[in-house]
């Protein structure tokens, strides 16, 4: 059921099949959509649309040198955005995807600098949130999943918090209710096959370092 927002720039729809279909259409059309993830609400745009990426950075007031993380619905999407999958990630992908684990991959040549921050790498995770995963499926590709907040402020964990930070400028908000405020995804990179913790989040790094028996 549609719920009116405080401004004409922020339409809110339920996170049902119809709402997700509308959100996917907005993303494919170059729009910005807020949606619930397994951590906070995220902001989704088409990562191959430069205009949408520029607009995303502008509304978040995000420095252009800070990379943007992506979510996908299945590892089979990786070749569209990464140039290689390090061997040390294979076990992590098997054990922790879908889930709040972001892995830093070498970016596919030609991927936007707005995504990589000029690092030639890109962060990706398979989301375990049903709405986020279905949104990716409907878009038929990766989408951005930067937290729904103005840069430097707290992430939004409800539609009301999204609206408070973005009274206008968003094309659609998928209402997934309120989630429990908690840490973001854990971000891990690698150097010469050794895992490197870049941001501690939901999953403890010591757990990631354990090898299955």
Is residue 81 scored above 90 in pLDDT?
A: yes
Mean pLDDT, rounded, for 199-206: 94
Least confident of 5-9, 26-30, 179-183: 5-9
Domains of the chain, each with CATH number or no CATH: 12-209 (3.90.870.10)
pLDDT tens for 119-160 read 999 999 999 999 999 999 999 999 999 999 999 999 999 999
Give the helix, strand, coil percentages of the chain, each rounded to 5.
30, 25, 45
Per-residue buried b or exposed e for 132-165, using 16+ beta carbons within 10 Å of the residue's own CB: bbbbbebbebbbbbbbbbeeeeebbbbbebbbeb
Is residue 198 scored above 70 in pLDDT?
A: yes
Do the beta carbons of residue 72 and residue 49 sit within 8 Å? no
Distance between CA 66 and CA 13 in Å, rounded? Answer: 30
Q: In sequence order, what DSSP letters do the residues of 60-75 get, joined into one string?
A: HT--TTS---EEESSG
Is residue 166 scored above 70 in pLDDT?
A: yes
Q: Where are the alpha helices (DSSP H) in the chain?
A: 17-28, 50-60, 87-96, 113-116, 130-139, 159-165, 205-209
What pLDDT was estimated at residue 182? 74
Rg for the chain, CA atoms, rounded = 16
What pLDDT was estimated at residue 106? 98
- pTM, to two decimals: 0.91
Is residue 6 scored above 70 in pLDDT?
A: no
Q: For strands 194-199 and 186-191, give the pairing.
A: antiparallel
- Written as six digits, the tokens of 93 are 């992908």
Q: What is the overall mean pLDDT for the chain?
A: 92
């Amino acid at each position: 059921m549609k719920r009116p927002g405080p401004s004409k720039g922020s339409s809110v729809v339920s996170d049902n099949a119809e709402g997700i279909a509308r959100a996917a259409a907005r993303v494919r059309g170059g729009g910005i959509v807020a949606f619930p993830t397994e951590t906070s609400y995220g902001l989704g745009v088409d990562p191959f649309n430069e205009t949408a990426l520029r607009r995303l950075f502008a509304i978040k007031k995000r420095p252009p040198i800070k990379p943007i993380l992506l979510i996908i619905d299945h590892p089979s999407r990786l070749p569209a955005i990464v140039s290689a999958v390090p061997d040390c990630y294979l076990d992590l992908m098997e054990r922790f995807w879908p889930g709040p684990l972001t892995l830093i991959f070498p970016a596919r040549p030609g991927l936007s600098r707005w995504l990589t921050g000029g690092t030639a790498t890109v962060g990706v995770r398979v989301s375990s949130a049903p709405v986020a995963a279905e949104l990716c499926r409907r878009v038929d590709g990766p989408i951005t999943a930067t937290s729904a907040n103005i840069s430097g402020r707290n992430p939004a964990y409800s539609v009301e918090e999204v609206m408070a930070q973005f009274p206008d400028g968003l094309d659609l908000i998928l209402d997934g209710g309120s989630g429990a405020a908690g840490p973001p995804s854990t971000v891990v990179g690698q150097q010469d096959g050794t895992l490197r913790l870049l941001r501690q989040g939901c999953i403890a790094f010591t757990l990631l370092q354990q090898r299955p028996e």
